[in-house]
Amino acid sequence: MDFSLTFEQRAIRDTVRDFVNKEVRPLEAEVLRRERRHEPGLEPGELRELQLKAKEFGFWGLATPEEYGGMELPAITQSLIFTELGRTFVPFVFGGDADNILFYADERQKREYLLPTIAGERRSCFAITEPGAGSDAANIKLSARRDGGDWILKGEKTFITGGNEADFAIVIAVTDKEKGAREGATAFLVDRDMGWTSEFIQTMGEGGPASLIFDDVRVPAENILGEVGSGFKLGMEWIGKGRYLIPSTALGIAERALQMAIEHALNRETFGKPIAVNQAIQWMIADSEVELEAARLLILRAAWIVDQGGDPRHASAMAKLYGAEMVNNVVDRVMQIHGGMGYTRELPIERWYRQVRLFRIFEGTDEMQRLIISRDLLRGYTKLGQEPS
């Protein structure tokens, strides 16, 4: 059993870390200032400029197949990169990627949607969640009915990431009510200029998702993604792929925050001594380190299973559950160690505090992860102590 990274993995991780430290982290003060004024942390042009800088040394399309100009990196390497990006709260992501299910597009759809998205010329969002169907995705109601050679979409989607900025949406709609969403849903590629609108949803975090309104939006049949009736399957593939990347980001946040706590504990004095000498502070730091490292192993194990071609659902559910809880615990302790200063907006700790709370909700709540894990064990899909496969 070898826990060391390969030379290539270390080189990529260190290159990303250097890029983040030199090009991204210097923007943190300005990003905080903008967010306090309810402005975007990065303007689209600024994000694009950073992405093109990264492209100059090869970082473009982390998960995109090489045939489309991407890096097609292994899951473990992607996890390492997301951890490095998590070390800064600047909303930066590398360019050149597209929703994984967009690769099911036919040739025309690839020219019109996939390739421009990879190139950064178009922006997409994925829309499955509805006001009455969050974790219960099989209960979606947004309908699509035939009208000649077109389909008419009617209903609402909510909490859609990127829905305010997207110029097209991948929408999962019910096309056969009798079969229900699991067998009677279909994925549609729907341009914004076809008639759907978005409404900003204010949250406790920075930025915000959107509600998408479809009021008899006409979509040509040629814009069906995949086959009629395959929408739910595609939706689950979208949700499941890369679930280990969410706690990978959490890992980076926890590492950065814990380092801040260590430095503060060594420099902050009370009663003539650094607070680092206090056992209460030491135990918070120790507990955070133990949980952080446990999360790292769960996350990398899930990524390793992906790279081995195995079924990562059980391992990813454990990584998502534990990683989300871990980062919430660590950031809470870091705020406690900083005392009143941690509660102010002079430091990014309160921002992380609000940001990481979402990790226990989106892309599968804690409760859903526990349901997946327990169901796998109770139904015999996974055996205790069994090697991953």
387 located within any domain: no
Write down the pLDDT at residue 239: 84
Whether 216 and 251 share a structural domain:
no
Same domain for 86 and 211, yes or no, is no
- Within a domain: residue 117? no
The answer to whether 261 touches 338, Cβ cutoff 8 Å, is yes
* Residues 29-63: tens digit of each pLDDT: 999 999 998 888 999 999 999 999 999 989 999 99
Q: Could you report the per-residue pLDDT of 262-273, keeping only the tens digit for each?
A: 999 999 999 999
DSSP-derived pairing of the beta strands 197-200 and 168-174: unpaired
* 56 annotated active-site: no
Say how far apart CA 233 and CA 187 lie, in whole Å: 10
Q: In this structure, is residue 102 part of a structural domain?
A: no
Domain final residue, candidates 233, 253, 274: 233
CATH code where residue 293 lies: 1.20.140.10
State which of 233, 259, 282 marks the end of a domain: 233
**Tally of CB atoms within 10 A around 289:** 15
CA–CA separation, 350 and 335 (whole Å): 7
Task: Give the range of the structural domain holding residue 328, as residue numbers without chain letter.
Answer: 242-378
**How far apart (Å, rounded) are the C-alpha atoms in residues 228 and 216?**
19
pLDDT in tens, 318-365: 999 999 999 999 999 999 999 999 999 999 999 999 999 999 998 889
**CA 90, 85, 22 angle in degrees (round to 5)?**
70
Three-state secondary structure call for residue 37 = coil
Directed axis angle between helix 75-86 and helix 279-307, to 10°?
A: 150
Helix axes 313-338, 366-378, angle to 10 degrees: 140
Q: Is the pLDDT of residue 275 over 70?
A: yes
pLDDT per position as a tens digit, 92-116: 999 999 999 999 999 999 999 999 9
**Beta-carbon contacts of residue 52 (< 8 Å; ≥ 6 apart):** 95
Same domain, 228 and 257: no
Pairing label, strands 269-270, 185-191: unpaired
Give the domain-ending residue among 56, 82, 97: 97
Q: Measured between alpha carbons, how far is residue 16 from residues 76, 84, 147, 327, 342 in Å?
A: 14, 7, 50, 22, 28
Q: What is the pTM of this model?
A: 0.92
* Residues 63 and 189 both lie in one domain: no
Residues 183 and 290 grouped into a single domain? no
Of residues 19, 169, 20, the one with CA closest to residue 86:
20
CATH number at residue 82: 1.10.540.10
**Same domain membership, residue 370 and residue 248:** yes
Work out the end-to-end distance of the chain between its first and last CA atoms, rounded to an integer number of angstroms: 16
Domain count, the chain: 3
Say which CATH number the domain at 161 has: 2.40.110.10
Residue 242, pLDDT above cutoff 80: no
**Catalytic annotation, pick one of 289, 363, 367, 387:** 363
